[in-house]
Structure 1
Amino acid sequence: MLGLLLAFGTAISEALKDIFSKENLRFADEYTVAFSMHLVISVVLAPIVLVMGVEEVSTRFLYALFASSFIQLAVILLYMKAIKRAELSVTVPLVTLTPLFMLLSSPILIGQFPSFMGIGGILLIVIGTYLLNMEGSRSGFLAPFKNLIYSQSSRYMLIVAFLWSITANIDKVGVEETSPIFWAFSKDLLILMYLVPIVFLKSKAPLAQMKGRWLQLLGIGMFRTTSVLTQMFAIQFILVAYVISIKRSSALLIILYAIIFLHERENLKLRLLAIGIISAGLALIAIS
């Protein structure tokens, strides 16, 4: 049960991070946003790591750290470019393919394979999340896949979905070798170091951008921090594929907020159907 609660915390944090990121990418470039996000999480976790003490690391940990950080660097830049240049309703549904990719990557990389009931739950969450994201699209049900042909942003997001199916499993290795907090800090600090030369080479006046929107960028970083930590703790208790499936259902939370607080009732039947499908998927994972 604790693992499920932590996974839900990941979904909430991820939804808020995406909302803040999309809004801030209208005013700041993707390199500055990515740099700021990893700067915040590194600064927040550094004193905690110092208090807990720097842990001894194994060769396996170092392999996992460099592999995950390098892949994650590509992921975060591709993700930011995708949501900056295209509508979320077209690109984000492709990320729901990550749990499907993990049905292959998890058994190969870490020897984890969901039960039949768990697989059913994953598929229901993918379908429900897809419906939630598609209800606002004017291009039809297959819009994300059609856009693979015409849209570079959609191709970026498909790559992101596949790479996340790899890094999520590597995270499991890193957490097993040390601890959730130390792994999260080590990985994001290394990504931050990668981003230092990139942001100053590719971004225009990054310091001015950060100064002008420091509070908003701080919010993105804080939501990223809670998302990462809850995910790392969650994978200690339940299968990685389950955690990522629940994480990808963050769109459900955004839709519920819009219905309840913003009174957005368009396509309400489709939204309620999608919410019901996702809820059924979550229930299957919970009892599997």
Structure 2
Amino acid sequence: MFGFLLAFGTAVSEALKDITSKYNLHHIDEYTAAFSMHLVQSLLLFPIVIYLGIEYMSTRFLWALLASSVLQLGVILLYFKAIKRSEISVTLPLITLTPLFMLITSPIMIGEFPSTLGIFGILLIVTGTYISNISEDPKKIFAPFVSLISNQGSRYMLLVAFIWSITANIDKIGVEETSPVYWAFSKDLLVLFYLVPILLIKSKKPWLQIRNRKWPLFMVGFFKSSSVITQMFALQFILVPYVISIKRASSVFIILYAFLFMNERKNFRNRLIGILTIMAGLYLIAIS
């Protein structure tokens, strides 16, 4: 149950990160947003790592660190390309496939496979999240999958979902070799260094953008740090597919926020059905 609560905390933090990021992206470019988020996270975790002490880094840890950081950088770039080339309503539902991919990648990579009840819980969360993100028009229910044939952005997003199913398992390896805080800090610090040349090439006046939005950007980094830390600790207690499935339930909080504070009533019928389906899936995972 403790692992479930930690994963639930990850979902809440992820939702808050996405909400604050949405406001920031109206004022800054995506490269500056990605860089500043990793910068704040590294700065917040650095004193904790120093206090706890530098840990021994095995060969297995170093290989996991290299693989995870490179894949995470690739995900960032693919994600931005997908958003730029396609409508979010078409590409976003494809991210929900990550937990399904993990039913294949987790047994292969780390030997974890959910119980029968847990699998049903994962399927309900995936279904509920998908329903929450599609159009109310019944004719468009399969639009995200149909778009895979003709839409390059959709293919990018499907690849993002698959890569995430791999990096989540690598996170488990990194946590086992060191600790949740040390792994999270090491991985995101390395990604931060990767982003520096990309920022300098792709972004216009990034330092001015950061200075003008320093406090909103700090909040994004803060919520991202909270999300990562609770996720890494949750991996110590429950299966990786469960953690990521619960994390994807962050859409529940985003939908409720949009309904209560942004007066977004469009497509609420589908979203309500999606929320109820997700809640049922969370319950099955909690009791499995």
- With over 3 angstroms needed to count, the CA separation of the structure-2 counterparts of 1:214 and 1:137, relative to structure 1, is farther
**1:12-51, aligned counterparts within 5 Å?**
12-51=12-51
Q: Which residue of 1 aligns with 2:159?
A: 159
Q: Which residue of 2 aligns with 1:97?
A: 97
CA contact (8 A) 2:85 2:152 kept: no
Which whole-Å CA distance do the structure 2 matches of 1:204 and 1:228 have between them? 29
Q: Which residue of 1 aligns with 2:246?
A: 246
CA contact (8 A) 1:41 1:221 kept: yes
CA contact (8 A) 1:30 1:77 kept: no
Structure 2 unmatched runs, 5+: none
- With over 3 angstroms needed to count, the CA separation of the structure-2 counterparts of 1:188 and 1:168, relative to structure 1, is same
Give the partner amino acid of 1:60.
Answer: R
Moved more, 207-216 or 82-91: 82-91
Give the partner amino acid of 2:94.
Answer: L
Alpha-carbon shift at residue 107 of structure 1 (Å): 0.4
Structure 1 unmatched runs, 5+: none
Q: Which residue of 1 aligns with 2:108?
A: 108
TM-score, normalised to structure 2, is 0.94
Which whole-Å CA distance do the structure 2 matches of 1:261 and 1:212 have between them? 25
Q: Which residue of 1 aligns with 2:179?
A: 179
Which whole-Å CA distance do the structure 2 matches of 1:101 and 1:62 have between them? 25
CA RMSD of aligned residues (A): 1.9
Which whole-Å CA distance do the structure 2 matches of 1:51 and 1:35 have between them? 25
Give the partner amino acid of 1:25.
Answer: L
- With over 3 angstroms needed to count, the CA separation of the structure-2 counterparts of 1:176 and 1:218, relative to structure 1, is same
Alpha-carbon shift at residue 84 of structure 1 (Å): 5.2
Give the partner amino acid of 2:230.
Answer: T
Q: Percent identity?
A: 65
SS of 1:134's partner is coil
Q: Which residue of 1 aligns with 2:70?
A: 70
Alpha-carbon shift at residue 264 of structure 1 (Å): 4.1
Matched, 1:227 2:227: yes
Which whole-Å CA distance do the structure 2 matches of 1:82 and 1:219 have between them? 25
Which whole-Å CA distance do the structure 2 matches of 1:86 and 1:7 have between them? 30
Moved more, 243-252 or 146-155: 146-155
CA contact (8 A) 1:22 1:84 kept: no
Which whole-Å CA distance do the structure 2 matches of 1:84 and 1:235 have between them? 32
Alpha-carbon shift at residue 56 of structure 1 (Å): 0.9
Give the partner amino acid of 1:285.
Answer: I
- With over 3 angstroms needed to count, the CA separation of the structure-2 counterparts of 1:263 and 1:35, relative to structure 1, is closer
1:119-146: CA deviations, max 9, x gaps?
A: 1110110000001111467971122223
Q: Which residue of 2 aligns with 1:198?
A: 198
CA contact (8 A) 1:106 1:241 kept: yes
SS of 1:190's partner is helix
